[in-house]
Amino acid sequence: MKAVVFEGNGKIGLKERPKPVLKEEQDVLVRVTCASICTSDLHIKHGAVPRAVPGTILGHEFVGVVEETGPGVRKFKPGQRVAVNVETFCGECFFCRRGYVNNCSFPQGGWALGCRIDGGQAEYVRVPFGDNGLTAIPDSVSDESALFAGDLLSTGYWAASIGEIHPADTVAVIGAGPTGLCSMMCARLYGPANIIAVDVDDFRLKLALEQGLADAAVNPLREDPAEAAAALTRGRGADTVIEAAGGENTFEMSWQMARPNGVVCVVAMYEKPQILPLPDMYGKNLIFKTGGVDGNRCQEIMDLIAGGRLDARCLITHRTDLDHIMEAYELFEDKRENVIKYAVRIG
């Protein structure tokens, strides 16, 4: 089968690989029908993900059809359409039982697919702990509607849920890229009065406003984001800030936009260390929450998609197929043609 392989040293390529086989009782073999390219794939390519293993097939955001199930799989049968979770988790360890599946203590727990074990930018993929890592897609939901359930929407849903957002709050989301846009969609579920989108890219800000994901847009090249947040909140600042950009100065921007006692959620993945200038923020009494998604709310997300309450199809600006995925990678990496996300049709 064809698959996109991380070769190490900044290289990836479309290669021929053997079709995977079931190894463990709880494995599910999935025939991939649609996959996306994620910014994290580029982080792996650039060596910014130390735990990524060279030789691994990339891809952690995809949907498909169950081809074969191990004897320990209870919830799924061949022929069922499924969305695949970015995270692999056992469901039984200390962290899993508390919902912190990103830190599952199973050796391949957390973000493993397309990083440490073969992922879904391929014709087939072996998904460990299939009962935990898959979500059935209802007939009424298309592949493209379900495509982001396991990664981007899970991340946005997690960011909004740890953001302690209350009705009538003001939420600032830094970065109107895929993660930021999904965070805005999910923040909306909590009924904030205002969502402020912050990005240096006017196309992305326009998309956020046009799609009704944000109520106000701030371009830091023209306007001071902290002043803009203060102006919308009678001087206090944003109640919750979700930092989804991971830029040079966006961490600083995030705590500056927050009101005293506000919550700053850092979901961005930085390629460099960041500075936490405690003297400058003394007395602001901020709450910082950081890290990678605990992706265990996929069923809720799928229910919201099926019910028309979450729709991330507006992120898909480009489409291609597996044969042309390397061209897609180039365009995506160069951020040409205002690309937000690719839907890669497979098979």
Give min distance, CB of 91 to Zn ion, in A: 6
From CA 248, how far away is CA 343, in angstroms rounded? 29
Q: What's the count of helices (H) and strands (E) in the chain, helices before strands?
A: 12, 17
Nearer to Zn ion, 135 or 256 (CB): 135
Which residues sit opposite 127 in a β-bridge?
28
Q: Which residues of 13-49 are buried (b: 16+ CB within 10 A; e: fewer)?
A: ebeebeebebeeebbbbbbbbbbbbbbbbbbbbeeeb
Minimal distance, residue 36 CB to Zn ion, in Å: 8
Complex with Zn ion: residue 96 or 298, whichever CB lies closer: 96
Q: Counting Cβ atoms within 10 Å, is residue 280 exposed (0-12), middle (13-18) or buried (19+)?
A: exposed
Least distance from C-beta 191 to Zn ion, angstroms? 27
Show Cβ contacts of residue 100 under 8 Å, excluding neighbours closer than 6 positions.
294
Q: Which residues contact 248 (CB under 8 A, 6 or more apart)?
A: none
Query: What is the DSSP track for 31-74?
Result: EEEEE---HHHHHHHTT--TT--TTPBP--SEEEEEEEE-TT--
Q: Name the residues that contact Zn ion, by CB under 5 A.
A: 38, 40, 89-90, 93, 96, 104, 106, 151
Q: How far is the CB of 170 from Zn ion (least distance, A)?
A: 27
Cβ at position 330, least distance to Zn ion in Å: 18
216 vs 310, which CB is nearer to Zn ion?
Answer: 310
- Least CB distance to Zn ion at residue 95 (A): 6
Nearer to Zn ion, 102 or 256 (CB): 102
Name the residue nearer to Zn ion (CB basis): 179 or 233. 179
Nearer to Zn ion, 94 or 276 (CB): 94
Shortest separation between residue 92's beta carbon and Zn ion, angstroms: 6
Q: From residue 140, how far is each of 36, 202, 303, 306 by CA, in Å? A: 21, 34, 11, 7
Closer CB to Zn ion, 37 or 241, in the complex = 37
Nearest approach in angstroms of CB 118 to Zn ion is 16
Question: DSSP per residue over 86-150, as a string?
Answer: SEE--S-SHHHHTT-GGG--STT-EE-BTTTB--SSBSEEEESSHHHHEEEPPTTS-HHHHTTTT
- For Zn ion, the closer of residues 133 and 192 by Cβ is 133
**Main-chain phi, psi angles of 177, to 5 degrees:** -85, -165
